[in-house]
Structure 1
């Protein structure tokens, strides 16, 4: 959960999000070093005689400012491609959930169960319980077992939506008539909040995503209770 005046990302709760945070820090350090070097060169050129024609026209300088940017791009591209591969890889998920965006709520269908499906609406401000978050709490959470590969099939019924949970490192567009998929593993129990990340109409900011990760036994108890209620 984000908090006021927060700097940086929310705490990671999936291996992919941990990799994304590491890559962010890696790229940020490269940007910091480049900015420091450029600032030093500018200050040195203004305050000294580094503008000498023999220095600016030397072959060595030409080689350096051609090879160095290429090496920097490789240092950024290689870990980036690795993370992209990890985000797209889906191997034998333990559970598949279909998330469908509507104007303006989400509906979830647990495809491994026969009749386990429900709609998830935002809880109005006047109905919030103590400790719940305004504009982020839903009346029915998407409950998942922790430490299990989860596949989410994402689509939409009317307009474009986007199913996103920052702490899980997942964001997938919901397109009418198309079925996209994403996968993640929750490495710890907890309640993780997200929102629709596509401007989908007047109530775009009122369709939160709430994922609750629980131990496997608790998930099985919850699924049995939901099936009995349905």
Structure 2
């Protein structure tokens, strides 16, 4: 009891002294003030790839990404409609916020689902009819009919017509998903690592971020930041979020540093494999601002389930402010992407081409060489793409 009373008195005294000291603090100068709508970059980054925040330096708004990303309206994340994330008790496709997603959603609801329902009910009716009409008690002497031309024509043509009806919109949707991005698109390079994502913005001054999953409060060490409800759902919230503009075409390029991963955000209707030594590309345009979540969708190792994706879709002006806050620059309006997107180790990468040119200059070109390849230092858990949670 005496100890509790002493602690209580100390707390009261500490609070009073803090209130007394508060007025003495001068106003923030223009040199230290953060840009409007942005949070200053956290100075405690860099431990195990996740952002570490001191317990006495809690963010003003938990919905902020920890690297100076623009502020999200906490109401949109915590109490607004749950768009861009799974919802308890709902069995359906997530609401779509891209043109291709809306097209695919219509295709599912208006063609595939009704068609498969009709076929299932028809097959069920046939089975019930056969069980009743041709049961042994009613047909002691089974029919020996082996061919019926009309039925055989029908059950051959009907599936063909059904497949054609499905193929026409399906092929159009597939073509739209891999249409090249137009000039002026924002290029985002997503790199899969075991087990975290790293991102690059080649057209915006080479901005790079690393995104690790935020752990729960009972899983973090003292001083580390834990997930809050404003950060997003459990197993989906990340310390650093991808920031993309609304209404601007996005050119997504995926690759990996170790094994095959897959960058998937259901609300964008995007699922693109990230393969070591290859660059896969697609494009999409986000129609609505908000916070959207996804996960790695290719089995990639022991911590495959802990590679979430979090994307903040913001107005273009806010995206430009974030780029400047990160030390990047905005390209000229409508200018095609002219940055080299290298993939380490790929046959056509700049590094490999330069090495081949230097080798040819020194020793001359070789044919059918038998040189033993040099083992790559890139291990399965080496995480060469950035600082991340290496196998923890």
Cα deviations by residue, 1:192-217 (Å, 9 ceiling, x for unpaired): 10011112122211111111111111
Contact (CA 8 Å) 1:55, 1:61: kept in 2 or not?
Answer: no
What is the alpha-carbon root mean square deviation over aligned residues?
2.1
Which of 307, 313, 328 is the equivalent residue of 1:207? 307
Which of 156, 159, 171 is the equivalent residue of 1:81? 171
Which of 119, 140, 165 is the equivalent residue of 2:210? 119
Cα deviation, residue 143, structure 1: 0.5
Secondary structure of the corresponding residue to residue 66 of structure 1: helix
CA distance in 2, matches of 1:55, 1:40: 22
Which of 16, 29, 34 is the equivalent residue of 2:100? 16
> What 5-or-longer segments of structure 1 have no aligned partner?
none
Contact (CA 8 Å) 1:109, 1:116: kept in 2 or not?
Answer: yes
Contact (CA 8 Å) 1:150, 1:184: kept in 2 or not?
Answer: yes
CA distance in 1, matches of 2:193, 2:317: 31
Alignment of 1:1-230 (within 5 A): 1-25=85-109, 26-48=111-133, 57-93=147-183, 94-126=185-217, 127-131=226-230, 132-227=232-327
Secondary structure of the corresponding residue to residue 29 of structure 1: helix
Cα deviation, residue 4, structure 1: 2.0
CA distance in 2, matches of 1:116, 1:202: 29
CA distance in 2, matches of 1:159, 1:48: 56
Cα deviations by residue, 1:47-91 (Å, 9 ceiling, x for unpaired): 347x99699844322221111111111111111111100111123
Richer in helix (by share): 1
TM-score (norm 2): 0.55
TM-score (norm 1): 0.91
Cα deviations by residue, 1:73-131 (Å, 9 ceiling, x for unpaired): 11111111111001111231521011111111111110112231111111121211233
Secondary structure of the corresponding residue to residue 212 of structure 1: strand
> What 5-or-longer segments of structure 2 have no aligned partner?
1-84, 218-225, 329-392
Cα deviations by residue, 1:21-61 (Å, 9 ceiling, x for unpaired): 22222112111111222222232334347x99699844322
Contact (CA 8 Å) 1:101, 1:156: kept in 2 or not?
Answer: yes
CA distance in 2, matches of 1:119, 1:156: 14
Secondary structure of the corresponding residue to residue 99 of structure 1: strand
Cα deviation, residue 145, structure 1: 0.5
CA distance in 2, matches of 1:118, 1:91: 23
CA distance in 2, matches of 1:115, 1:60: 66
- How many residues matched? 228
Contact (CA 8 Å) 1:115, 1:227: kept in 2 or not?
Answer: no
